[in-house]
Amino acid sequence: MSSQARLLSSKTLYRGRVFQLKRDRIVEPGNITATREVVEHAGSVVVMPFLPNGHVILIRQFRYPARQSLWELVAGSMEPGESVIRAARRELLEETGYSARSWKRILYFWASPGFVAESMSIYLARDLTAGTAQPEADEAIELRLVPLQEAVAMVMSGKIHDGKTISGILWLHAQQNQ
């Protein structure tokens, strides 16, 4: 049995600045014919800035779909033709003002693969140098240096609701306790 779907037809329903919405008619593995609506996205990069003193840099910003401000790791969409590591460096500088000399990809996953074609890579950034943040015009960002144990407590108590941030913090916590 093939692990690939066969595309029968595709229609773009909406094309925006960040994503497009398509309706695809496909034949899935196992000969299942289906119609799937898919949000197409170029992919995102996530950065977990980790300081030698054991602090993680978190940012807080308003997220309209969630209707609230959320504590998150640094993250953003990739620009057309941009490499993942270049996007990571750009987002770290834009949102925090920091730059890093050491980069390691620690996780790769699909944000919500039931209907969103958005992959995410989380990078651990170390050997940080502080600088001046350069947020985009529509970003109001609060920055906080949080001890890793406190960040884990924020996850476990439900103070952090963002999936990519939960994944990254719990990964780092597990690595520190090996």
CA atoms of 63 and 70, how far apart (whole Å): 7
| Residues ≥6 apart with Cβ < 8 Å to 99 | 89, 92, 93, 128, 129, 131
Sheet holding 32-41, edge to edge: 6-15, 19-28, 32-41, 116-117
In the residue annotation, 139 being an active-site residue is answered as yes
**Terminal CA-CA length for the chain:** 40
Q: How is residue 45 written in tokens? A: 């990069």
DSSP string of 5-38? -EEEEEEEEEE-SSEEEEEEEEEETTTEEEEEEE
Catalytic residue among 40, 82, 94, 139: 139
Active site residues: 139
